[in-house]
A and B are shown apart, each in its own frame.
Chain A
Amino acid sequence: MVVKKSARTVYRYILFDYLSQSGKRADELQRELNQVMQQMYGMVGAPHLKLISFSKGRGIVRCGRSQFVQARRAFALYINPTYRIRQVRSSGTLKGLREGL
């Protein structure tokens, strides 16, 4: 089935810094990020994040455009005693995000 272009999900990409003394595996971080969203907004309304890339203390997550503001606020409110996630910038395309670095 072909999905009309206007009906496709539009995504936003958020570039973040992972600041910590110790490292973390990408799958662990992906799980934790989704837990953070569920803690903040509940299982039904939580934005689903997908970790696109994560290496050398810097990563990119993807979320739906309609849930972007929620995700950004959740990142801003989230604290953890062992690491910090600092939002650097966001973009509608991966190319735009990487070009701006």
Chain B
Amino acid sequence: MGTSPFFDLDVRFEWDGYSQEGYSKVFVPNALEGKSGRYDPAKVNIALFSNTKAVLPDRFDMVNFSGFGVNVDVLSLIRDKEKAVEFCLADVRKAVLSGRISQAQFFSNVVRSYKVPYVFTSGAASIYEVKSPKEIAFVGEMLGFTQRQVLSSMSMTAEMLLSNKGW
């Protein structure tokens, strides 16, 4: 696992020094809200799915369940389309600080049992918020994943998503 290339698909600022943290490449995503979100083929497109925005756009690369609300139909759709669910570190942090970590753990159990592809991302908005792959793996353990599963999601699953886009 040590030699695998790692990708962070959700970094919300221009970051040049990503190789120092062990990443091969990082991506600034395009957020799609609701049905009318515009798909940008030059970026990784993340559809935001929550209780208030419970509609998916026609095209997307990943889906972010920010409130960790379980929707089995949507999860099955993501699996069938060979897309992925995003586990963003910023969302996990919010869940921990607001006492909703059990909801996040339940959601991750459902994701695993439905065999939906998933990708861990940092969701960093500044240079002080970035995390190395190993640190993200520590957080993934909170949700019931092993470190190997988290690291593999950031390398192999992310690579699969990028190759599906033809990159």
Contact = CB atoms under 8 A, between A and B. Distances in A.
B138 A76 contact: yes
A86 B128 contact: no
Given A39-B97, A73-B142, A81 B135 contact: no
Interface of A: 19-20, 39-40, 69, 72-73, 75-77, 79-84, 86-87
27 contacts: A19-B128, A40-B96, A40-B97, A72-B138, A73-B138, A73-B139, A73-B141, A73-B142, A75-B135, A75-B138, A76-B131, A76-B135, A76-B136, A76-B138, A77-B89, A77-B93, A77-B139, A79-B93, A79-B128, A81-B128, A82-B128, A84-B127, A84-B128, A84-B129, A84-B130, A86-B132, A86-B135
Given A39-B97, A40-B96, A80 B139 contact: no
Contact of A79 (B129, B136, B141, B142): B129
Contacts of B136: 76
Contacts of A20: 128
Nearest to B93: A77
A20 B126 CA distance: 12
Interface string B79-94: 0000000000100110
Contacts of B92: 77
A72 B96 CA distance: 15
Contacts of A80: 128
A30 B131 CA distance: 21
